[in-house]
Amino acid sequence: SLVWTLVTLAGEVLARETQAVEIKPGKTHRAMTVDLAQVTAEFGPGNVILFADLMRRDEVISSTMATLVKPKGLDLQDPKLTVTRLIAEDDLVAFWATYSGIQDGPMGPFPATGKPLELDFAGMHRINDGKIVETWVIWDNLTGLMQLGFYPPEPVEVVE
């Protein structure tokens, strides 16, 4: 089973759920999708942490955590974060996830479109003394720009 807990940075438990999952060795499996619209509206996306424990009977097989990060300057209507893979080794926790919602506000130089946006991202946390001390994240920005209709850019007419 998968036991997940969503908490504030102050440690207040916002949600907790246990889900039965069956993950075959060597296979990627979407284990959960957490709807973050209400949580991010109330606390802000950078102020919550998701803890996930993969259990076999009463034994914890994998215990991981993820902060709910988003690209700077990107606020989406009805945001959702889907964590598809978490891998922990030594002091590192790697993750693959999807951040999705409706782009209803400006995103850097790009105006609001009202279109759905689904951005895959990967990252890694370095943990020291039970705390995240470093985070590296990479976003699939080009796919996002294509979904919103900003790429490829309109051809420019060359006037001589």
Q: Using an 8 Å Cβ cutoff, are 138 and 159 in contact?
A: no
Per-residue pLDDT tens for 4-38?
787 776 678 888 888 787 766 666 556 566 666 67
Higher pLDDT residue, 108 or 95? Answer: 95
The larger pLDDT score, comparing residue 1 to residue 29, is at 1
| Structural domain boundaries in the chain | 2-21+29-148
Q: What is the pTM of this model?
A: 0.53
Task: Output 130 or 146, whichever has higher pLDDT.
Answer: 146
Query: Could you tell me the pLDDT band of residue 70, with boundaries at 50, 70 and 90?
Result: low
Nearest by Cα to 21 from 64, 51, 52 = 52
Q: pLDDT grade, residue 126 (50/70/90)? A: confident
2-21+29-148 CATH: 3.10.450
Q: Give dist(CA 160, CA 150) in Å, integer.
A: 26
**pLDDT at residue 56 tops 60:** yes
Mean pLDDT of 36-55: 72
